[in-house]
Structure 1
Amino acid sequence: MSSENRVESHGVAWEESYGYVQAVQRGDTVYLSGQVAHDGPELVAPAPVGPDGRVTDFSNTGAQMRQCYANAARLLQRFGASLDDVVDEVLYVVDAAAGDAAAGPVRKEAYGRPDPQVASTMIGTPRLAFPELLVEIKMVARV
């Protein structure tokens, strides 16, 4: 196996400010950083946030989850892969109940089958990188 890495990014400002790439391929494995709901520099379906910085409504969880999968699919395509090649995923959600309600339908839609063939873990977290984010999805794919 080659020791060289191939990397890809979305070209958004936070990649440079934080210091990371969105995906790294080493050998036949592609590691995706946590994908969030953005289209270019703009957040997609941002959650409303109160004056205390906390989310006041979790109803955009499904919309954000769909965008996370779309961003992951776009990255995987650059490696000649697709969501069919994903073997492991971790979903980080700000509200476990909203994440659980959205995950079944959205995952089945994203993977195009009623029984996605991927190991999956969901973790509740109090906050993500931006206060308006409700979901972040990290993946590993084999190509």
Structure 2
Amino acid sequence: MIRDGLYSIKNMFQVDRYVAMAGEDNDYEVVGQDVPDTIKVLVVNKVLGLATLFDPMQQKFIWIDDGSNRVVGRDVPQELQLSTEDGENYVIHKQDIDSVCVLNKNGKGTPIVTEPAPPPGVEGYKRKYWKFLPN
């Protein structure tokens, strides 16, 4: 499990894209951009891999909206589970839920959404993996 701290979060399939949060005009949607936002990680439960993710620039927590399958910024924290098999690449999802954050396209501003975790062997399955790069 990663430690508390400030990170840039990079997608491992769309390797030129990082987590960034759009502003108020776009309902604080979380998107893939070429310039990362700094994300503050606060580990809530190291054993379960639970953490909150906070964007200091937008002053919002990263949330998974179950109704729309969008990843957005909100005022209150949501515990997210950071699962890893290799200790380097993480899957971001709600606790014990198989719907994970993915970046499906490489375009700037592509929304990060949730969908069932693509299994190995499926083209583009790495779009579910994220690397937390310390700032």
TM-score by length of 2: 0.29
TM-score by length of 1: 0.28
Q: Which of the two has greater helix per residue?
A: 1
Q: Select the structure of larger CA radius of gyration.
A: 1
